[in-house]
């Protein structure tokens, strides 16, 4: 085969040039590189990206295309048909990609690999989106861990296979010219109505934006991370999650950047906590890999009997940030406006939905899937099951986050609520998280009428908590 025959690099959740094992290996072949992105909604089916993720993807692909001199090939359709056809059209000498771990991607990629190899085409896949390959993190008996701490400490840190060092971006490699493919606009990732203006101001998708975000966090946020990560009114979290999901930066780059801040000392508690949060991401991927049904089915099967309540009206109030509980409503409005929600608030709004409202966790997971720019099937599924109590290493059933006490503890001055629930901005701190308890003269002074300017609580906290505890108890009784 002629050395002019290209090798295909199939970009997926690795939209970067640096620390891209598939791209690095392909460039080492000494052949022209044909970079390809395939928008494959056909195989994704119900897990096709939501609106917020599609907005992010458009920006990220635009950035990657610029890095590739405007020669990234865009294709839309079933990758099981599209990729073999492209291999044949350009007489490709091989195909390179980094592995993905969603069940539908694993099934699709296995079919493609078998098909191409059956036709004599070389296919190489690499670890590019996780620190620790899932099969390497199992217990000594070969079964997967279900509890985070032993998974992270033993399955990851002590498994004898440390994270690999990040790879540099390849330079000056030849890119194969082809007239095939679509324009980025023809992928139709952007909505026809511009609802994303605030997202566009807040986020900088792409590899350069990801590296800048990491640098900012390491200089301004990580030294306050252990405690500060619980404060939605402060800028102490990394906000790297969408960049990690789309692979604009690898977890390896983040991992080693933390270790390299000062290689002559031990990790600080803040640094160690951040790395353990990367470990939680690994745990979610490990769960999805070993338990692919967690996307819709309870990991703990006894929850199949849980007495969820179908109430479209209360679900809609939750989605719209009109529950009457300011910290919940602030979180839901932040999500709608920015495509993001602070992690502490995600736990609060999740607990409120599944425990105070007794709505099925799948309603929350589906809403997050459509509205989060960092919507990730592994993290989203595992986190919602954790909140509901039906997942691995789940929150105990009696852990029901009180939105008032949580708000007072983690948004003590009410600045987060004031930002996203401006109708309450003039309330004094004493009542910012419980406005229905404010005296009438206080509400009148700031021009707020509960039920008109701001909704009354959708449920009472104490009775709804007792209802949830009774529902959880019924599972124990029915299984005994």
- Residues with catalytic function: 277, 280, 308, 343, 361, 384
Q: What is the dihedral of CA 448, 450, 451, 452, to 10 degrees?
A: -10
Sign for the pseudo-dihedral over CA of 319, 324, 328, 334: positive
Provide the H-helix boundaries in 161-268.
197-202, 207-220, 225-228, 241-245, 251-259
The radius of gyration of the chain's CA atoms, rounded to the nearest angstrom, is 24
What is the DSSP-derived secondary structure letter of residue 35?
Answer: E
* Distance set, CA 153 to CA 134, 158, 225, 465 (Å): 14, 6, 20, 35
Q: Cβ distance 242 to 210 under 8 Å?
A: no
The one-character DSSP state at 268 is: P
Largest CA distance in the chain: 85
Q: Which residues contact 262 (CB under 8 A, 6 or more apart)?
A: none
- How does DSSP assign 71-108, residue by residue? -PEEEES-HHHHHHHHHHHHT-SEEEEE---SHHHHHH
Question: CB neighbours (10 Å) of residue 395?
Answer: 19
How far apart are alpha carbons 367 and 371 in whole angstroms?
6
Looking up tokens 């002074």 gives: 445
Question: Residue 68's closest CA among 41, 37, 39?
Answer: 37
Task: Give 444: exposed, middle or buried? Use CB within 10 Å, 0-12, 13-18, 19+.
Answer: exposed
């Amino acid at each position: 085969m002629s050395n002019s025959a290209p090798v295909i690099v199939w970009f997926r959740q690795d939209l970067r040039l640096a620390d891209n094992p598939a791209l690095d290996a392909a460039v080492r072949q000494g052949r022209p590189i044909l970079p390809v992105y395939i928008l494959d909604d056909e195989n994704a089916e119900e897990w096709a990206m939501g609106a917020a993720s599609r907005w992010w993807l458009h920006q990220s692909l635009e950035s990657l295309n610029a890095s590739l001199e405007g020669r990234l090939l865009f294709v839309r359709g079933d990758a099981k048909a599209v990729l073999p056809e492209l291999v044949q059209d350009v007489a490709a000498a091989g195909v390179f990609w980094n592995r993905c771990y969603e069940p539908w991607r694993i099934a699709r990629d296995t079919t493609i690999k078998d098909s191409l190899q059956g036709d004599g085409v070389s296919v190489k896949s690499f670890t590019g989106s996780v620190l620790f390959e899932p099969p390497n993190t199992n217990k000594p008996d070969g079964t997967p861990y279900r509890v985070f701490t032993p998974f992270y400490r033993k399955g990851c840190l002590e498994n004898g296979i440390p994270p690999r060092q990040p790879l540099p971006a390849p330079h000056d490699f030849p890119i194969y010219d082809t007239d095939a493919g679509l324009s980025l606009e023809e992928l139709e990732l952007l909505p026809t109505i511009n609802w994303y203006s605030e997202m566009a101001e807040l986020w900088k998708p792409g590899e350069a934006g990801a590296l800048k975000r990491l640098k900012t966090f390491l200089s301004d946020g990580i030294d306050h991370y252990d405690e500060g990560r619980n404060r939605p009114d402060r800028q102490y979290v990394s906000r790297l999650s969408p960049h990690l999901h789309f692979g604009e930066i690898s977890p390896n780059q983040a991992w080693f950047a933390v270790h390299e801040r000062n290689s002559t000392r031990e990790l600080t508690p803040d640094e160690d906590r951040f790395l353990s949060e990367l470990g939680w991401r690994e745990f979610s991927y490990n769960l999805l890999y070993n338990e692919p049904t967690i996307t819709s089915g309870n990991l703990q099967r006894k929850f199949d009997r849980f007495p969820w309540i179908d109430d479209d009206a209360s679900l809609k109030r939750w989605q719209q940030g009109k529950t009457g509980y300011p910290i919940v409503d602030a979180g839901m409005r932040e999500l709608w406006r920015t495509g993001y929600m602070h992690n502490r608030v995600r736990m609060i709004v999740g607990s409120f939905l599944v425990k105070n409202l007794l709505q099925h966790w799948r309603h929350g997971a589906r809403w997050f899937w459509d509205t989060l720019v960092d919507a990730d099937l592994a993290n989203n599924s595992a986190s919602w099951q954790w909140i509901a109590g039906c997942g691995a290493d789940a929150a105990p059933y009696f852990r029901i986050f009180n939105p008032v006490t949580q708000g007072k503890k983690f948004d003590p001055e009410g600045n987060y609520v004031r930002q996203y629930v401006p109708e309450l901005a003039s309330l004094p701190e004493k009542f910012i998280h419980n406005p229905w308890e404010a005296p009438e003269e206080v509400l009148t002074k700031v021009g707020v009428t509960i039920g008109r300017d701001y909704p009354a609580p959708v449920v009472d906290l104490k009775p709804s908590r007792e209802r949830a505890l009774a529902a959880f108890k019924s599972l124990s009784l029915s299984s005994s």
